[in-house]
Structure 1
Amino acid sequence: MKVPSMIVHAKEIIQTFPSGTKGVPEIRALDGLNMEIKAGELTALVGPDGAGKTTFLRLLAGLYPLTSGQLEVLGFDVTQHPQRVQDRISYMPQRFGLYEDLSVQENLDLYADLHGVPQNIRKQRFERLLKITDLTNFTHRPAGKLSGGMKQKLGLACTLVRSPELLLLDEPSVGVDPLSRRDLWEIIEQLVHEENLSVIISTAYMDEAERCAQVYVMYEGKILKQGTPKQLREQVQGLTWQVAPPQGMKPRVLQAYLLENVQYVIDAVPKGASVRFITNPQYPQLPSDLLPEGMHVQVREPNLEDAFMMFLHETQQEHHSYTSVTQLSKETVSSHLVDEPAIAVKDLVRKFGDFTAVASTSFEVKRGEIFGLLGPNGAGKTTTFRMLCGLLPASSGSLDVAGMNLRNARAQARARIGYVSQKFALYGNLTVIDNLKFFGGAYGLSGKKLKTQIENALQQFNLKPHIKSEDLPNGYKQRLSMATALLHEPEIIFLDEPTSGIDPLARRAFWYTIGELANKGITVIITTHFMEEAEYCDRIAIQDAGKMLALGSPNQVRQQAGSDEALDMNSAFIAIVEQARANIQQEEAV
């Protein structure tokens, strides 16, 4: 059958779900959405949490009955002919169902059986998929033993065991490192080019959306903006700037100050030794007296994330509710710091049988510092992180946290730290306030102290007390997790990929809060796969294969990668890891 020029035609799509909350009859996930998508292109869906991206992809896949409107996919009415659509598409959800006890090859065979792929074309198809995903040498390895990035590539291969006319991908690169993310995109772009495959992808990464032919910005179930990346970028031309803070001031302090001037600045993020910001169209240039003397504002070219933030600003003001105690002064940065480190690690080793997950690692983290722990999937950073939290004992070496030796005072150290896990450790059937009460009690709070802390948390994180946590969007689940971890006023807070799967808007608000905590003297240790978030850190460490490859400020790490400040951290990270791996291969060859 000939594929139509428009593979998706959506008109006035409305999709509702029961709310599950008394007094609220329904949740409107899509609200009069209209969209037309061309064949043979890469199309991106972007938008904040709760915008309706996943709901729309599931409707395209024929997985929901449509509430109202008209929806055609590949020329078929999805409501009347869902099976005809499903026979011609492949869909990879956020949590793809790999069978972890089965090998790579057994997973491919299983999905080929489920999709009825003829035996005579399997061999050639499998060989191609294994080659482009670089899994040829891992066919006998159980899926559960693969790294996060390899699991995503296997999930994509299983999705493509048959050759579809349309591929639907729901945030396929969430939770994978920059190297694996690059590999995934090379595979996707290769398929589009060689097989003329049509791909619709939802993503939280604006640099991924930049690679697509068309971008649809969704908000509250509607299309807010649409166009090519170039067309969208042009809409913020003349409003994007950068400025370097004076010597001795951290970029995130300047960022916080700019964000508080909401009349003039709608977004600001650290980048290298500078801060990039967007001005309000009503006041495209900052007043001359807004910044201290000697700070020079420069024009810069906009990127797609600038456009995204502008569109959201035009729609709603929530991301501007920044309340801060930060003052624009050098003293703010250093007044709370003392000489004693918050964390001291020396010759740390962790082995699992014959396997060394962490090999002789040493570093210190200062009080009030934001310290980023980065590395590819399977690099050993999660193991290091768990040892720092007191969740996993070290095989050898010394580890002091908050002045406590974790070998003999683990419980005492835990009482002085907070922890936010990657998989939000909330009780889904409990309300926001019940979660806060439970975790507050677990931290030893009670009575008036607990009540006061809960009231402060609800206000600080803009949380509604009586909503079940399972009904919260990811961004608000992350806020609640942070609120529970801070109830007992810890000295150190550990954040394990807390922004994975949340949109740029939610990430901005999250990092603003983190900067505030550090400015008040709380030490922050964070793991992340968003390399632009490394720019918020005072120092970062990059690990791979259990070894420390780089340690220093973001600029120092870029210099180690042999790049200047203009190069993004993503490229610097990839360069450092690939160089280290190349050196190991050379040593093994000798």
Structure 2
Amino acid sequence: MTSALTVRSRNLRKSFIGADGKAFDAVQDLCLDIREGTITALVGPDGAGKTTLMRMMTGLLAPDGGTLDVLGIDVTRRPQAVQDRISYMPQRFGLYEDLSVQENLDLYADLHGVPQDLRAERFSRMLEMTDMARFTGRPAGKLSGGMKQKLGLACTLVRVPDLLLLDEPSVGVDPLSRRDLWEIIEQLIEAEGLSVIVSTAYMDEAGRCDEVLVMDHGRLLAQGTPGELTKKARGLTFVAAPPANMPARDLQARLIDAPDRIIDAVPRGGAVRFIRAPDAELQDMEVLLDGVEAEPRAEQLEDAFMLLLRQHDGVREAESKAPIVAIEPEPGGAEDDEAVIHVRDLVRRFGDFTAVASTSFDVRRGEIFGLLGPNGAGKTTTFRMLCGLLPATSGTLEVAGVNLRRARAQARRRIGYVAQKFSLYANLTVRENLEFFGGAYGLRGTILRERVKAIIGQFDLDPAAVGGELPHGYKQRLAMAAGLVHEPEILFLDEPTSGIDPLARRSFWRTITALSQAGVTVVVTTHFMEEAEYCDRIAIQDAGRMLALGTPQQVREQAGGGDIDMDAAFIAIVEQGRAADHDSKVAA
């Protein structure tokens, strides 16, 4: 017996006016069926149309053409009838940060008209599922990123909907919080028979769904179960282990620079996993590998996703192509094996709260160093101290040979910083942004003009384009260019790939590899554990303490070894650390 349909669209269209004044189709002639009682993933690059489609499903956006039925209702004609039966959690869910956890739940129950006699049981259930019963009196603004996402989901579900729509619910949260969110979602599906549609940038999340819809440029490229889609990459997937003296990211860079022969390549477990283009000859692959042996491997959903995107019309090729940036480090800088960041017994307290407790590590010149941890672990505080943005309470902290406790301004001239969110001036042009930041870093006159001209060319930017009107990928390029305009010795990147798709992440890391090869030291925070594989060494923090420090392979071994990925290693190390902390408190 065929299941009823939760969503049915035929020739669905939605157009907008772009920054250039021209109309473009965000959703183009979309035809799809989504079955009732299933969990369906929407995946695709930035600008694929996922959020636009979701907003049309909720009745918040009216289609420009075609038909769209949700729960058997024409959402264009009767949007309120649909909204009465669905719950929707957008990417930036509107928590009231001055209100407590309980007050946020009360407010959303009021907005949804939840009867008073049903609230106690519903609140208790949501608080138990999200493990937030202990925090009902805490202001939402004081919660970690992962806890905010869980509270947002709880507020979305204060009533029981027939359809739950989640727009990238796990963006910007750590693997532990992602796991918790998905356990909550799966419990709800099992207990209440919910239909769920979720957009995600994580292919492992899409793999947990009943069906996956792959979108790009408003079109549906493919629809099927994870297994059906994964088969599309069969026979094209390989793994190659470079020699001990070659970082896996260098081999990955060589392969990804040949898009006519290699669809995708990523470092994993000290090796490189790659996808051969269907029409590429085997001897072409052997030339690229240059003596490195490659073996077939089992295909995965992400392989099929990348294959589908690369086989699409290539409109995004210019934006996804990585700029290869040439940097001349400052003469007289540190030798390759010398530490350019030196941290000993670093402590930062906020009143009675210790955010960072006695942390020590070094970072060498040209090294890519990853700073990882759950939301609220203290990594952002450590990061801000390293950048000179926050003073340490005690300990030794030297960056580029300068003691940050005594000369933060002097050190800042030798470092570059790229914030998690686009923090440049949206109303200034590309050239004006770069001139402003170059001036802030001390560049003047001819030197400033030459550096701005050079960095614009290296990043393939339009100098007259207005910063706030750039596509997401080019905003990222501009932010990186601003951090590099003064040719820093050290570059700090604060979750730079949060919320962006795999294509853009590959491009970003190709640029980082080039910077490292040029001798620039890179310190990066990220919640994408796969990106830890690009790092020479990583540190994992939790509750202000250092739990692990070493190469990705050493960290996996500390987590228990075997054939585990970095997500599993990260979760294991954090849980081991928390268990040990609990045992020591009990013993005391």
Superposed pair shares fold, TM > 0.5 = yes
Distance 2:81 2:507 in 1: 43
- Is the partner of 1:342 in helix, strand or coil? strand
Determine which of 373, 384, 389 is the counterpart of 1:375. Answer: 373
Contact 1:61-1:91 at 8 Å conserved across structures: yes
Greater CA drift, 422-431 or 163-172: 422-431
What's the TM-score once normalised by structure 1's chain length?
A: 0.94
Q: Give the Å deviation of 1:324.
A: 5.2
Contact 2:320-2:473 at 8 Å conserved across structures: no
- Is the partner of 1:509 in helix, strand or coil? helix
Distance 1:325 1:414 in 2: 21
Q: Who is 1:84 aligned against?
A: 81
In the alignment, structure 1 residue 105 sits paired with structure 2 residue 102: yes
Q: Who is 1:474 aligned against?
A: 472
Determine which of 96, 100, 111 is the counterpart of 1:114. Answer: 111
Distance 1:118 1:325 in 2: 60
Q: Who is 1:163 aligned against?
A: 160
How many residues align? The count is: 577
Q: Give the Å deviation of 1:435.
A: 2.0
Distance 1:430 1:277 in 2: 40
Q: Who is 2:193 aligned against?
A: 196
Contact 2:325-2:515 at 8 Å conserved across structures: no
- Is the partner of 1:224 in helix, strand or coil? strand
Q: Which structure 2 residues correspond to residues 227-266 of structure 1 after superposition, within 5 A? A: 227-266=224-263
Q: 1:78 to 1:187 in 2, by over 3 A?
A: same
Q: Who is 2:424 aligned against?
A: 426
Q: 1:466 to 1:169 in 2, by over 3 A?
A: farther
Q: Which amino acid aligns with 1:270?
A: P
Q: Which structure 2 residues correspond to residues 330-345 of structure 1 after superposition, within 5 A? A: 338-345=336-343
Q: 1:554 to 1:292 in 2, by over 3 A?
A: same
RMSD (Å), alpha carbons: 1.9
Q: Who is 2:329 aligned against?
A: none
Q: Which amino acid aligns with 2:454?
A: N
Q: Which runs of 5+ in 1 are unaligned?
A: 327-334
Q: Which structure 2 residues correspond to residues 348-427 of structure 1 after superposition, within 5 A? A: 348-427=346-425
Contact 1:319-1:505 at 8 Å conserved across structures: no
In the alignment, structure 1 residue 455 sits paired with structure 2 residue 429: no
Contact 2:323-2:459 at 8 Å conserved across structures: no
1:398-438 deviation per Cα after TM superposition (whole angstroms, max 9, x unaligned): 11101111122211110010001111112222233332232
Distance 1:514 1:183 in 2: 31
- Is the partner of 1:419 in helix, strand or coil? strand
Q: Who is 1:208 aligned against?
A: 205
Q: Give the Å deviation of 1:461.
A: 2.6
Distance 1:434 1:320 in 2: 24
- Is the partner of 1:518 in helix, strand or coil? helix
Distance 1:464 1:68 in 2: 34
Distance 1:226 1:468 in 2: 37
Q: Who is 2:7 aligned against?
A: 8
- Is the partner of 2:462 in helix, strand or coil? coil
Contact 1:42-1:213 at 8 Å conserved across structures: yes
Q: 1:308 to 1:220 in 2, by over 3 A?
A: same
- Is the partner of 1:500 in helix, strand or coil? coil
Q: Who is 1:484 aligned against?
A: 482
Q: Who is 1:524 aligned against?
A: 522
Q: Which amino acid aligns with 1:297?
A: A
Contact 1:336-1:520 at 8 Å conserved across structures: no
In the alignment, structure 1 residue 298 sits paired with structure 2 residue 295: yes
Q: Give the Å deviation of 1:313.
A: 1.0
Distance 2:118 2:325 in 1: 64
Q: Which amino acid aligns with 1:40?
A: G
Q: Who is 1:534 aligned against?
A: 532
Contact 1:374-1:529 at 8 Å conserved across structures: yes
Q: 1:86 to 1:467 in 2, by over 3 A?
A: farther
1:352-406 deviation per Cα after TM superposition (whole angstroms, max 9, x unaligned): 1111100011000000000000000000000000000000000001111011111
- Is the partner of 2:69 in helix, strand or coil? strand
- Is the partner of 2:148 in helix, strand or coil? helix
Distance 2:17 2:177 in 1: 38
Q: Which amino acid aligns with 1:519?
A: Q
In the alignment, structure 1 residue 140 sits paired with structure 2 residue 140: no
Q: Give the Å deviation of 1:31.
A: 1.9
Q: Give the Å deviation of 1:464.
A: 3.2
Q: Which amino acid aligns with 1:15?
A: K
What's the TM-score once normalised by structure 2's chain length?
A: 0.95
Q: Give the Å deviation of 1:264.
A: 2.1
Q: Who is 2:441 aligned against?
A: 443
Distance 2:289 2:178 in 1: 40
Query: Structure 1 vs Structure 2: percent identity of aligned residues?
Result: 63
Contact 2:323-2:511 at 8 Å conserved across structures: no
Q: Who is 1:177 aligned against?
A: 174
Q: Who is 2:580 aligned against?
A: 583
Contact 2:325-2:511 at 8 Å conserved across structures: no
Q: Which runs of 5+ in 2 are unaligned?
A: 327-332
Q: 1:550 to 1:162 in 2, by over 3 A?
A: same
- Is the partner of 2:46 in helix, strand or coil? coil
Q: Which amino acid aligns with 2:99?
A: L
Q: 1:30 to 1:356 in 2, by over 3 A?
A: same
Contact 1:369-1:524 at 8 Å conserved across structures: yes
- Is the partner of 2:94 in helix, strand or coil? coil
Q: Which amino acid aligns with 1:524?
A: V
Q: 1:582 to 1:286 in 2, by over 3 A?
A: farther
Q: 1:465 to 1:30 in 2, by over 3 A?
A: farther
Distance 1:493 1:325 in 2: 13
Q: Give the Å deviation of 1:470.
A: 2.5
Q: Give the Å deviation of 1:302.
A: 1.1
Distance 1:336 1:352 in 2: 34
Greater CA drift, 544-553 or 265-274: 265-274
Q: Who is 2:558 aligned against?
A: 560
Distance 1:9 1:432 in 2: 43
Q: Give the Å deviation of 1:521.
A: 0.2
